[in-house]
Each structure stands twice: as structure tokens, then as C-alpha cells.
Structure 1
């Protein structure tokens, strides 16, 4: 027999009755999987509220005669673990959603011709920057919150958070970190001057249309230029956040030493979040795969020191970490690969199989789940 259960009702030993997907190409948990604590965390991370299960439950307690009440204690501990995790995530997510909604309201006013008020944006983003700096492990979940319809607003808030986190990881003073986070949030305010049709277009932009969109860093710079609330070097970072070290960026094609490090920090945050999110023309991608692509495939475009900081804030997999892979498998990190730190050796749960991610490039880490 099969039935449906809510996440709060699930226990280790419960058997899944159908593949579970979460906007992924592969199942995040496969049919027939016997749930363990790690699987419950995966379901929570993907906000899966209800799943189809089999009636049978496989006893995971390794004694023939469990002590009276022992199973209840185990269930209680699991419930407490999940509730604590959900509470922390929920509080931060509530703050995040509030910031996105407030930014959307401001952006809408800019589209109608209202002058940029940096003080308002600072008020909406500062509490979030402070909170995420205390909970850096939650940064890797930012792409889960975004959606294609309101990507523009999610992107602004997330880039602000990621920019501040990178600056903090690079040991910038707190004042600079918060200023740069504010600049990251405002980096795309100039999009309010771009035809909305272009920003919502699902097909590839024509050369002329892309040339129009590429004007937004200049518009952003012009919108904030008169305000004393943002330091001049932060305004320059906004102007240059689409420039690349190899000269392939825009709007001016600056390269090398002509691009400030603050600009480069903002650029890494901007590209990382954009590539991990679902867009009108692209599905979302694993944060670990994107970080790796930025370091390997985009070599020469970004400062390697900043990319190393990105690796740190998204969480480097270490021996013993539980991980979810992009093909839906769950496993444990056995050892790291020195040359490919985001591609460790992983032992799959419930199997003797060990996957060397440095050799199997079609699979990557989706999330750390411990």
C-alpha cells in the first residue's frame, strides 16, 4: 500500500514510493530509497512538504530488542533537529523576502521616473547583510529563493548579500563590506531605464537589443552619482561590474589594473548568482558547478583570489560531509581532490560504490546537507 505523508511525519526507515523531483533534471531522491536523516534534510532544503511513501518501514535501530522509548527519543531528536533548521532558515528567508518586496517597490518607482533614494535601499538591505554575515552557510541557498518571473529583484538583493560576504571573506573592514553590499544591491538599478520587454524576453537578444541592455551600468552610475551616501569607489564598482580582467567586458572594455578590486568582487557575485538561478531562457544550475566553471572555463576574466573566497563562502566539501549530487544521489565525502577541491571522492549511501567526481564530470555537488 502507498500513501502520502508530510515532511514532519517522515522518519528514518520510511520507504519512498516514487521519484521526487524539485525543478531538477534528475530525482533528488529515488523511488525505493529508505530514508535516513540526510534525506530528510534534503527534502527540507528543497522545500518538499509532502511525499508518497510505502506502508512498510524498515527498522534502522541496530538492536534486536530496542529499549522501550528509544525509538520515541530518536524521533524526537530528529524532529528537533529539523525544527531548529527550519526555524533558522525560515527567519532568514522571511527577512530576505521582505527585502525583495521592498526593492521591487523601489524599482517600480524608478521605472515611473522617481529619483533613486539610496537611504531607502540602505534601510531595506542592511539588516539582511548583517544577518547573512552571521549565517554564511545559508548563502548557498540564495538561488533556491529566486524565480524567473521576479528574477531581477531577487538578483539585486542576492548580489548585495554575496558581495558583502565576499568582501568580508577577503578581510575588508566592516564599513567597506557594508558599503559594497549596498553597491551590489544597486548595481542593476539602471535596468529601470531599459525597455522592460527586453528584460523579459525569453529568446536570445539581437545585437542591437543587447547593446541597449549593456547601457545599464552607465544608467546605474548616473542614478547614484549625486548621492553622498555611497562612496565614490563604490559608484565606480557599479560602473565597472560588467568589466572583465581580459578586456572582454563592458561598457568601456577596461582590463587589468584599470578595474578596481571592489568592482571585481561585485562582478564575481553578480555572475555567480546569475548563473545559478532559473531564468526565462535557462534552468538553474548547481552553485558548485558554477563556481568551478567561473574558475576553469572563465579563466582570465576574474581575480583568482576572489574566486577562492567564493569557494569558501559556498562551503568547501570536507571528509565526512554529507552531499547531494546533481543526479539525485546522496553520499558522504571520503577524501578531497587537491587539484579539484569541489570534486571530492564520494561514497554513495546504501551502496558500496565510490564516485570520483574529478573523473566523472557529468555529475557535481548540488548541496552540502549536514
Structure 2
């Protein structure tokens, strides 16, 4: 692949990712260099880039094909995701009826989704929302399974553990099948005693998953410990960070993130960027800092090129994500570049 000066790069597709001097991702491999891209490269003092050996017209066609090819992926993901939620709902009903967890069925629920999120992790920032609180438990479980899988990958844990960590995520709330339905599906705020009953789902989850063939000890411990916190303020045992299994730490981050992004009876979900900002705050005392930072960096590095709405209502496209300020990228809107790291009164409201 030829390396050429920036001034000669117009009309070429980038053959490699382009990073700033600080290590922030500026453009993905395959980006077609047009006038706007050239201005940004020059602004960040990038002197040369590696490009593909294709004519300009051909590259425009390739780029168009790539963009169009994402549409079927989005549709496939949404279809598979909604199907997975319904399958998991049926599985929970079976467990409620006293059956043991069918591990192979759980794996089959995740199987169609894992390759998609590996290749298109940006989809994790726009997970579909279900319409009611009852289905939320199932949707939340599937989402946490996918998020936990990607965190394991980004943390470079042994590959043979990724699926087990995904199983830990999807089964983390399985203990709720043993909670009184009147409490579990209550449409108003829980009383103090009802909340204490709800907290027992962690112990019930441990009992349901411990010793089950096909599930590792980490899966059972994640069911037990995902509400524990690094400073010992969690439940059910008030354990501190060095007593928690790594699966539990990963699932805790995944479930807190998805919970903040989701709509509930008493509050609207926040944008993924607001959620990760809160995660970064919670990494000081509540959540494991290494897991949080790995997750935030992994999730936000794929945001370049995403169309977003800011809190002032303006629509723009993310053109640069700084690794040091992952929740506050540079956004191009109406011909101007807004550096959210400097314009602190604005933040990303949602991904369009």
C-alpha cells in the first residue's frame, strides 16, 4: 500500500486507521478522503497516510457499497436481538416453573448475535428498547450478555472465556425467576420490605447457576456478586473489590451501563455518552477502574462518523474521539467543529 503526502490524498481511501499524536482515533480504515477529511488531517498535522491503490471513482463506489452494506447488518441485528429477547423470556418462564437452566438453549440465544457485535461493536450504543417493564428484564439480560462478551474481548481475557462471560451476563438476573411476581412486576415504587425481597435475586441466582453443567464457577459468582461494589457498599455480602470475581466486575459495569441507557417507569434513559461519563465517576470507589476504562475506550473508539444530537438540538457527526476525553469528542455541525472537551455546557444527547 502506498504512503503519500496529505496534499495528494484527495480521492483515496485510507488503508489504515489514522491516529492523532496523542493516540486518538481520527479516521477508520476505508474512509474516503474528501475536502472535509483533508482539512481535519491538516488541522491535526498529519503529514502522510497509507492509502489503497484504487482510482477515485472506484473508491467512491467502494465506500458507497460499504455504507449500504451496513443497512442489512443493522436489520439483521435488530431482528436477531428481538428474537433473542423473546427466546430468553420463554426460558425464564421455564425456570420459574422449576426447570433447570438449559445451558445449550442459552448459548443458542447468543450465538447469532455475538459475531455481529464483534464486527460492528458500534451497535452496542444503539440497542433497541422494549415497550414494557416486564420484557425489560429479558432485554436487559440479553444486552448485558453482549456487553460482557465485548468487555472480555477488549480486556484481552483468554478467548475461551468470552462465551462464559457472556453467559454470566445473560444469566446475571436469573434469580429474579424466584422473586414473587407481585414484587417483580410491580408497576409502582417498591416498599422497603419489597426491595429487600428483590435483593435476594442475587442469592437465588447463585443457587440456580452453581454446579450446572456447562456453566463455570465465574457465572455463578457473577449472579451472586454483580451488585457488590469495590468499596464494600453493595449487596448481598458487602464484599470489597479484591474479594470479587472478574466476571462479577465485568457484568456489574455492563448492567449499570445498560440500566442507565434504558427507559424505566420512573425515569428516561440517558444517552450512551452520559452513561459512560457516570461510569467513569463510579470507577472511583464503586466499579472496577480497569474494567470501566477498558469498556469506555472500547465503546467510544467506534464512534467516529456517528451522527449525534447535542443537548442544544443541533445534529452533527463525530469527527474525532480523544482517548483522554472519550465522552467529549469533536463534532462537526452545520459547517463548524464543536470541541465538546472545551464546550462543557453541551454534551451528546443521543445517537441518531
TM-score band w.r.t. shorter chain: 0.7 to 0.9
1:47-83 CA deviation, whole Å, 9 max, x = no partner? xxxxxxxxxxxxxxxxxxxxxxxxxxx9x99996765
* SS across alignment from 2:214: coil
Deviation at 1:111, TM superposition (A): 2.0
Cα distance, 1:186–1:320 mapped onto 2, change above 3 Å: closer
1:238 aligns with 2:207: no
Report if aligned partners of 2:175, 2:201 keep a CA contact under 8 Å in 1.
Answer: yes
Cα distance, 1:332–1:95 mapped onto 2, change above 3 Å: closer
Report if aligned partners of 2:297, 2:323 keep a CA contact under 8 Å in 1.
Answer: no
Cα distance, 1:178–1:320 mapped onto 2, change above 3 Å: closer
**1:279-294 to 2 correspondence within 5 Å?**
279-294=264-279
Which one of 154, 159, 167 corresponds to residue 169 of structure 1?
A: 154
TM-score (norm 2): 0.74
Counterpart residue number, 1:306: 291
Cα distance, 1:115–1:335 mapped onto 2, change above 3 Å: closer
Q: Distance in 2 between matches of 1:363 and 1:77?
A: 33
Where in structure 1 are there 5+ consecutive unaligned residues?
A: 1-73
Deviation at 1:339, TM superposition (A): 4.9
1:363 aligns with 2:347: yes
Which one of 130, 136, 150 corresponds to residue 146 of structure 1?
A: 130
Which one of 151, 175, 186 corresponds to residue 201 of structure 1?
A: 186
Deviation at 1:282, TM superposition (A): 1.5
1:224 aligns with 2:209: yes
Report if aligned partners of 1:245, 1:302 keep a CA contact under 8 Å in 2.
Answer: yes
Cα distance, 1:318–1:216 mapped onto 2, change above 3 Å: closer
* SS across alignment from 2:160: helix
1:252 aligns with 2:232: no
**1:1-370 to 2 correspondence within 5 Å?**
83-142=68-127, 144-149=128-133, 150-297=135-282, 299-316=284-301, 322-333=307-318, 339-350=324-335, 352=336, 354=338, 356-361=340-345, 363-364=347-348, 366-367=350-351
Deviation at 1:132, TM superposition (A): 1.8
* SS across alignment from 2:190: coil
Report if aligned partners of 1:92, 1:131 keep a CA contact under 8 Å in 2.
Answer: yes
1:329-353 CA deviation, whole Å, 9 max, x = no partner? 2224466566533113434225x47
Q: Distance in 1 between matches of 2:103 and 2:96?
A: 15
Cα distance, 1:245–1:138 mapped onto 2, change above 3 Å: same
Q: Distance in 2 between matches of 1:207 and 1:116?
A: 30
Report if aligned partners of 2:88, 2:106 keep a CA contact under 8 Å in 1.
Answer: yes
What RMSD in Å do the two structures reach over aligned CA positions? 2.7
Deviation at 1:207, TM superposition (A): 1.5
TM-score (norm 1): 0.71
